[in-house]
Each structure stands twice: as structure tokens, then as C-alpha cells.
């Protein structure tokens, strides 16, 4: 009986890793599309969102099957319930990658507004958070999960700097205002990706300790 349970948990682990890889690719594709103003890359990133949604449903099905068939307790229950929460945040990250690419489609063909270094830094920082939080889950690395949570402050600071640059651009040149507003929205989507990555890290901590945001849950 336990052997079957362990097999199901291993499959669940593999599925979450696969979903994490899909989300990381979607972010990278959305970032490349934005920098290059490439409509085809943007369309690819948008199309990937459907696969991410399908994977979320598959993982939810696996979790519910484990709960109904195995009735897990203690650490096993924490793991399964954490995976359910993590997949929700991963799905939202996929949505935001698609949102970024949808705006990129609108921007394609327009003269490129200088985005300074802040924008690539913001995109790279959020991608790092997602990559590290998935690694923390896979390796059951409590310190790495906590470092992802702390790193969200860095992403928030980069977002504020990026927004400040773009607001100044609007003030200096009204002709760029529409595009700058679109770029502020993209920056906000990257900042939200960081928030979701931090949420995932919180659930990794919970799965390992039973603590969620410094509160003992189970």
C-alpha cells in the first residue's frame, strides 16, 4: 500500500516539476518577445498558457486522487495540499506571461522606447525567483525557499524604479505616453510574478515545517 502511495507522490512531484519548467519557458519567451518586439515569440508565449492550464488541471486531479485513495496525514498531507496551492500560483504566473505577451503584440511595429537597464533587470529578477522557488521545492531546501521570499523586496524595488523611469518618460515626451503606460503594465505583471513566486516559496516552507507565514498550521 505504501509503495503505491510513494509512486503516486513521485508522479505528483514530477508533474509539478514539469509545470514549473513550462512556466519558466513561458516567462523566458515573453521576455525575449518584449525585448525584440517579436510578434511570433509573443504568440508562442500566449499559446503556452493553454498547456500550463491543462497541466494545472492534471495536477489537481492527481492530488484529489491521492487524498481520496490514500487519506494522507502529517507530512504527506502537507505536501499534497502545498502542491495544490503551488499549482494555482504557477497557473497565475503563466497568465501573467501571456498578459505581457499580449501587450507586446500591441507594441510590435512601434518605435522602441528606451527601457533602460531596469526593465531587463526586473524580468531577470522575477525569472530567478520562479526558478529558485521550483528548485527549493524539488530539493526540499528551506533556506532557498526563505531566500526567495526575502528577494521579493528586491523585485518590488526594481518595479518602483522602472515605474519612476517610465512616468518621467511620459512627462518628458507625451508622444510616448501610450507606450510607456503599456510598459508600466508589463512591469506590474513582472512584479506580480515575483509575488506569486514568493507565495510558492511560502508553501514550500509550509510543506517542510507546517508553518505558513510564521503561523503553525499543521
Q: What digits encode the pLDDT tens for the residues 148-172?
A: 999 999 999 999 998 888 888 788 8
For residue 109, what pLDDT is reported?
75
Helix/strand/coil percent split, the chain, to 5: 85, 0, 10
For residue 63, what pLDDT is reported?
94
What's the predicted TM-score (pTM) here?
Answer: 0.92
What secondary structure does DSSP assign to 164-196, as a single string? HHHHHHHHH-GGGHHHHHHHHHHHHHHHHHHHH
Q: Is 31 exposed, middle or buried (0-12, 13-18, 19+ CB in 10 A)?
A: buried
Q: Which residue has the cell 515605474?
A: 163
Phi, psi of 140 (to 5 degrees): 55, 50
177-209 and 118-139 helices, crossing angle to 10°? 20
For residue 98, what pLDDT is reported?
96
**51: its cell numbers:** 498547456
CA atoms of 111 and 123, how far apart (whole Å): 21
Q: Is 24 exposed, middle or buried (0-12, 13-18, 19+ CB in 10 A)?
A: middle
Q: Which residue has the cell 515575483?
A: 194
CA atoms of 48 and 55, how far apart (whole Å): 11
**Domain 2-216 = CATH 1.20.58.220:** yes
For residue 216, what pLDDT is reported?
61
CA atoms of 192 and 187, how far apart (whole Å): 9
Ranges in the chain, pLDDT < 50 = none
Q: How far is CA 164 from CA 10, 127, 142, 170, in A?
A: 46, 22, 34, 10
CA atoms of 133 and 128, how far apart (whole Å): 8
Pair type for strands 215-216 and 211-212 = antiparallel
For residue 180, what pLDDT is reported?
83
Q: Residue 204 in contact with residue 78, Cβ under 8 Å?
A: no
Amino acid at each position: 500500500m505504501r509503495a503505491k502511495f510513494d509512486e503516486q507522490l513521485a508522479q505528483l512531484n514530477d508533474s509539478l516539476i514539469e509545470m514549473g519548467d513550462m512556466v519558466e519557458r513561458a516567462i523566458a519567451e515573453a521576455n525575449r518577445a518584449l525585448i525584440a518586439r517579436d510578434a511570433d515569440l509573443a504568440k508562442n508565449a500566449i499559446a503556452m498558457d493553454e498547456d500550463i492550464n491543462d497541466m494545472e488541471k492534471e495536477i489537481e486531479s492527481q492530488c484529489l486522487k491521492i487524498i481520496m485513495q490514500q487519506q494522507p496525514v502529517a507530512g504527506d498531507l502537507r505536501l499534497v495540499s502545498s502542491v495544490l496551492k503551488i499549482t494555482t500560483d504557477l497557473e497565475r504566473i503563466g497568465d501573467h506571461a501571456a498578459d505581457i505577451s499580449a501587450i507586446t503584440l500591441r507594441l510590435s511595429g512601434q518605435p522602441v522606447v528606451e527601457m533602460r537597464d531596469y526593465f531587463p533587470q526586473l524580468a531577470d529578477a522575477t525569472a530567478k525567483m520562479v526558478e529558485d522557488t521550483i528548485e527549493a521545492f524539488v530539493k526540499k531546501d528551506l533556506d532557498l525557499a526563505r531566500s526567495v521570499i526575502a528577494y521579493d523586496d528586491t523585485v518590488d524595488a526594481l518595479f518602483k524604479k522602472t515605474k519612476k523611469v517610465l512616468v518621467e518618460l511620459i512627462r518628458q515626451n507625451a508622444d510616448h505616453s501610450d507606450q510607456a503606460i503599456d510598459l508600466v503594465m508589463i512591469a506590474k505583471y513582472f512584479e506580480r510574478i515575483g509575488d506569486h513566486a514568493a507565495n510558492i516559496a511560502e508553501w514550500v516552507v509550509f510543506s517542510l515545517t507546517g508553518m505558513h507565514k510564521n503561523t503553525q498550521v499543521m
